[in-house]
């Protein structure tokens, strides 16, 4: 099977033989104010080699309505639920990229910290959020050394548990640098369909109708305070012959949908100096990508920034049908950043990875436009003789 030789977070270029190197698929439009924007109409491929003319076509097919979208996210998380909570697991069999990944990220982070947060006691404690943290590889090897507090967000519980165990050991000895919060949630908001649907089939054979009703109501009372619980009792096969025959065989089904607020992640206002998102944003649809960054902005302290580290397609996009993730091109990302109202403050290419993998890029993103370097004085003005009054 393709998956056996293809890691999920790194896709061999050989998987995408038809991928063009040109970004010319992006139609560029010129608006009256001469601002050039790119529409998402680059062609892309999936891992079976199928071509999509545009990203919109692909998204419509895979996440075009709420049930497809729910399935998209379920499949993505299910994929990772079947992966071992090890370095090899989260790196798709490429544990050897851990070292160059961490060292390149560290170089980038050091520059960003020195430029954005010059030593200043008032900024302490430095706090970071590790999004799609997996087993806490990045937190353990990099973030916890530079930040006083790290929060981890990861939808796959056995990964997050592994992270908690590894980091707890270190935290006992270090109170100045510690992992604080572990959020078992995805980056996207829950759709109504992706709430935890719990079909509770109560086959109450020979149960009196009144007893079933009482049980159903008790369950509602028990659940409602802690969850925003909608219940609808659907009699599936109700063989109640007459309202007076209390002991006639019954079969009832009750459907409980839990709209739990804890399923959605919106950060506390101004908690983070940095929000780091590595090798997980590909799981989000474009719409949820933009929605996530817009929500997450409120979590940044003034001057704070995002770091997004991702695989980069040479053009358009590449869909991985198995883990339900999309690898976007640099241009695709830049269009999404602009929709999020984010600016690329700095970017850096990953080096030192084995041949054959996707290119990897790091973007530091800010909510404020980078200040332009002061213009060099023109020769005419500097050479103009001064008038001495
Ligand atoms: C390739 S692993 C990377 C893990 C970690 N960032 C690292 O670099 O070691 C991808 C991670 O994305 C997580 N993930 C999948 N879908 C997600 C979603 N919708 N929101 C957040 N994380 C998701 C997976 O559970 C998995 O831990």
% pLDDT > 70, the chain: 65
Tokens of 360: 């990897």
List beta partners, residue 178. 149
Are 305 and 210 in the same domain?
no
The predicted structure's pLDDT at residue 35 = 38
Does pLDDT of 205 surpass 50?
no
Is residue 133 assigned to a domain? yes
Query: What pLDDT, on the 0 to 100 scale, is given for residue 304?
Result: 97
Contact 133 CB / ligand 1 (< 6 Å): yes
Given a cut of 70, is residue 134 above it in pLDDT? yes
Same-domain status, 213 and 349: no
Give the neighbor-by-neighbor strand order of the sheet with 44-46. 51-52, 44-46, 317-320, 325-328
pLDDT score for 38: 52
Evaluate if residue 330 carries a pLDDT over 80.
yes
Q: What is the mean pLDDT of residues 373-377?
A: 59
Q: Does the pLDDT value for residue 380 go beyond 80? A: no
Q: Are residues 205 and 343 in the same domain?
A: no
Ligand 1 site, residue 9, Cβ cutoff 6 A: yes
The pLDDT value recorded for residue 217 is: 53
pLDDT, one tens digit per residue, over 257-291 is 333 445 689 999 999 999 999 999 999 999 999 99
Q: How many domains does the chain have?
A: 2
85-90: long-range contacts (C-beta < 8 A, 24 or more apart)?
Answer: 85/135, 85/158, 85/159, 85/161, 85/162, 86/135, 87/135, 87/137, 89/135, 90/9, 90/134, 90/135, 90/137, 90/159
Q: Is 331 in the pocket of ligand 1 (CB under 6 A)?
A: no
Kindly indicate the confidence band of residue 370, based on its pLDDT and cuts at 50, 70 and 90: confident
211 and 248 housed in the same domain: yes
**330-340 and 286-296 helices cross at what angle (nearest 10)?**
50
Q: Give me the pLDDT at residue 191, please.
A: 72
Dihedral pair phi/psi, residue 128, rounded to 5°? -130, 150
Over residues 93-100, mean pLDDT: 97
Q: Is 44 in the pocket of ligand 1 (CB under 6 A)?
A: no
- Domain extent for 207: 196-259
Is a pLDDT exceeding 60 seen at residue 199? no
Rounded distance from Cα 121 to ligand 1 centre (Å): 33
Examine the pLDDT at 202 and tell me if it is beyond 50: no
Kindly state whether residues 165 and 223 are assigned to the same domain: no
- The answer to whether residue 166 scores a pLDDT higher than 70 is yes
Confidence grade of residue 77 (pLDDT, cut at 50, 70, 90):
very high
Given ligand 1 and candidates 280, 282, 308, 322, which is best to mutate, with the most ligand atoms within 8 Å of its CB?
A: 280
- The answer on 234 and 110 residing in a single domain is no
The answer on pLDDT for 240 being more than 90 is: no
Confirm or reject: Cβ of 101 under 6 Å from ligand 1. Answer: no
Going by pLDDT thresholds of 50, 70 and 90, the confidence category of residue 376 is: low
Q: Are 41 and 25 in contact (CB under 8 A)?
A: yes
| Same domain for 205 and 172 | no
Residue 169 pLDDT: 76
Q: Quick one: what percent of the chain has pLDDT higher than 90?
A: 60
What spacing in Å lies between the alpha carbon of 45 and ligand 1's midpoint?
Answer: 22
Q: What is the mean pLDDT of the chain?
A: 77
Residue 213 lies in a domain: yes
Q: How far is the CA of 316 from the centre of ligand 1 (A)?
A: 22
For residues 194-216, average pLDDT: 48
In a domain, 248, yes or no: yes
Instruction: Please indicate whether residue 242 or residue 350 has the higher confidence score (pLDDT).
Output: 350
Q: In terms of domains, do 176 and 252 share one? A: no
pLDDT grade for 179, boundaries at 50, 70 and 90: very high
**Which pLDDT band holds residue 377 (cuts at 50, 70, 90)?**
low
Residue 68 has pLDDT above 80, yes or no: yes
Q: What is the mean pLDDT of residues 26-45?
A: 50
Residues 307 and 236 in one domain: no
Here the CATH number for the domain that contains residue 336 is 3.40.50.150
Q: Which residue out of 11, 134, 135, 358 has the highest number of ligand 1 atoms within 8 Å of its CB and is therefore the one to mutate?
A: 134
pLDDT given at position 129: 98
Task: Give the range among 33-42, 126-135, 168-177 with minimum mean pLDDT.
Answer: 33-42
Distance CA 131, CA 188 (A): 11
pLDDT reported for residue 193: 55
Global pTM reads: 0.75
**Residue 293 pLDDT exceeds 90:** yes
Q: Give which of 361, 287, 295 is closest to 327, Cα–Cα.
A: 361
Residue 70: inside a domain, yes or no?
no
**How much distance in Å is there from the Cα of 26 to the middle of ligand 1?**
28
Give the distance (Å) from ligand 1 centre to CA of residue 142. Answer: 17
177 plus 230 within the same structural domain: no
Shared domain check, 176 and 119: yes
User: pLDDT at residue 14 above 80?
Assistant: no
Residue 116: pLDDT over 60:
yes
CA of 354 to the centre of ligand 1 (A): 21
User: Is it the case that residue 328 has pLDDT exceeding 50?
Assistant: yes
**pLDDT band at 226; cut points 50, 70, 90:** very low
Same-domain pairing of 296 and 271 = yes
Residue 45: count of CB within 10 angstroms of its CB = 21
Written as six digits, the tokens of 299 are 């979590």
Token couple for 264 = 């959605």
Q: What is the average pLDDT across 32-47?
A: 64
139 falls within a domain: yes
In a domain, 55, yes or no: no
Is the CB of residue 155 below 6 angstroms from any atom belonging to ligand 1? yes
């Amino acid at each position: 099977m393709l998956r056996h030789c293809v890691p999920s977070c790194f896709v061999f270029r050989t998987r995408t033989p038809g991928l063009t190197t040109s970004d010319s698929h992006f139609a560029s439009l010129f608006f009256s104010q001469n601002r050039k924007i790119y529409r998402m109409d680059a062609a892309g491929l999936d891992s079976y080699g199928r071509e999509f003319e545009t990203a919109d076509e692909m998204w419509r097919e895979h996440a075009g309505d709420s049930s497809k979208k729910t399935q998209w996210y379920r499949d993505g998380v299910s994929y990772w639920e079947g992966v071992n909570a090890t370095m090899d697991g989260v790196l798709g069999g490429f544990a050897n990229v851990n070292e160059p990944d961490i060292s390149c990220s560290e170089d980038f982070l050091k520059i960003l910290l020195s430029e954005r947060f010059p030593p200043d006691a008032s900024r302490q404690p430095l706090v970071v959020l590790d999004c799609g943290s997996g087993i806490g590889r990045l937190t353990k090897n990099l973030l916890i050394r530079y930040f006083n507090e790290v929060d981890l967000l990861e939808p796959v519980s056995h990964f997050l548990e592994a992270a908690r165990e590894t980091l707890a050991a270190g935290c006992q000895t270090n109170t100045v640098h510690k992992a604080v919060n572990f959020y078992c949630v995805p980056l996207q908001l829950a759709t109504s369909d992706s709430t935890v649907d719990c079909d509770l089939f109560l086959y109450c054979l020979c149960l009196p109708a009144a007893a079933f009703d009482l049980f159903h109501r008790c369950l509602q009372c028990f659940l409602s305070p802690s969850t925003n619980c909608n219940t609808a009792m659907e009699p599936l096969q109700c063989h109640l012959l007459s309202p007076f025959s209390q002991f006639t065989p019954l079969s009832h089904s009750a459907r409980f949908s839990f709209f739990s607020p804890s399923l959605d992640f919106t950060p506390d206002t101004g908690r983070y100096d940095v929000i780091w998102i590595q090798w997980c944003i590909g799981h989000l649809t474009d719409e949820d990508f933009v929605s996530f960054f817009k929500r997450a902005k409120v979590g940044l302290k003034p001057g704070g920034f995002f770091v997004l580290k991702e695989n980069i397609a040479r053009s358009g996009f590449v869909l991985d049908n198995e883990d339900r993730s999309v690898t976007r091109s640099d241009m695709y990302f830049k269009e999404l950043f602009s929709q999020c109202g984010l600016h690329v403050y700095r970017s850096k290419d990953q080096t030192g990875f084995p041949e054959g993998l996707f290119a990897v890029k790091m973007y530091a993103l800010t909510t404020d436009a980078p200040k332009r370097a002061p213009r060099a004085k023109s020769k005419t003005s500097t050479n103009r003789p001064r008038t001495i009054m």
